[in-house]
């Protein structure tokens, strides 16, 4: 059976979790892989917790359900760590990627994470690059650093298509986050 990378994104409405999952899936498809991305939300509004799902595989993906046992959890809004258990169902060998200025060791200690933890201060990167507190493209860089699921060039192409004139700042946020992400096994 083919290995399917399953990623669950945790953010808030308007933060770009759904967009990030879509862009990652599109980049994988550009490379000839199979991918799906979809959100899970009801009547939430901007600012409410949102979950988005991403699957990537070298073979056709038959499953069409929410991701209850992800390989990776991406936390765009670190405040969610104090409000919900983002690690519910995370596989034993899973990874948690958090937008935080704290080190992976600090996050493991504070939240009792038994998984590998990666952290990057995506909020700071977003403020310095795109001049907005929207961290999704920076977190795409962190996910790429941890998984190497697609080629960085494929993600860059997707950002150019999606953001047009604003693409360069988003590409800078993504590539900077890629290089600044710290992973602790």
DSSP run (H or E) holding 54: strand 49-57
Entry pTM: 0.95
Range of the domain at 91: 4-184
Residue-level pLDDT, tens digit, the chain, 185 residues: 458 999 999 999 888 999 999 999 999 999 999 999 998 866 556 778 899 999 999 999 999 899 999 999 999 999 999 999 999 999 999 999 999 999 999 999 999 999 999 999 999 999 999 999 999 999 999 999 999 999 999 999 999 999 998 899 999 999 999 999 999 98
In this prediction, residue 185 carries a pLDDT of 86
Token couple for 165:
């004139």
Q: What is the pLDDT of residue 99?
A: 98
H helix intervals, 57-135: 104-111, 122-129
Give the pLDDT of residue 48.
Answer: 83
Cα–Cα distance, 32 to 14 (Å, whole number): 30
CATH of the domain at 151: 3.40.920.10
Residue 99: C-alpha distances to residues 74, 108, 181 (Å): 8, 14, 9
Buried/exposed 50-83: b ≥16 CB within 10 Å, e otherwise:
bbbbbbbbeeeeeeeeebeebbbbbbbbbebbee
If one counts the domains in the chain, the total is 1
Cα 44 to Cα 11, 39, 41, 58, 106, distances in angstroms: 12, 12, 6, 34, 31
Question: What's residue 40's pLDDT?
Answer: 82
């Amino acid at each position: 059976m083919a290995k399917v990378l399953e990623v669950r994104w945790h953010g808030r409405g308007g933060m770009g979790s759904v967009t990030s999952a879509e862009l990652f899936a599109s980049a994988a498809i550009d490379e000839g892989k199979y991918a799906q991305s979809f959100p899970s939300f009801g009547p939430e509004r901007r600012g409410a917790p949102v979950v988005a799902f991403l699957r990537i595989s070298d073979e056709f993906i038959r499953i069409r359900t929410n991701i209850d046992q992800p390989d990776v959890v991406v936390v765009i809004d670190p405040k969610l760590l104090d409000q919900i258990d983002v690690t519910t169902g995370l596989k034993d060998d899973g990874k948690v990627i958090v937008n935080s200025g704290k080190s992976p060791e600090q996050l493991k200690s504070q939240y009792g994470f038994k998984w590998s933890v990666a952290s990057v201060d995506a909020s700071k990167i977003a403020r310095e690059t795109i001049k907005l507190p929207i961290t999704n493209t920076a977190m795409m860089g962190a996910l790429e650093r941890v998984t190497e699921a697609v080629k960085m060039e494929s993600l860059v192409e997707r950002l150019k298509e999606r953001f047009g004139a604003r693409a360069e700042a988003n590409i800078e946020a993504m590539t900077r986050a890629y290089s600044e992400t710290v992973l602790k096994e």
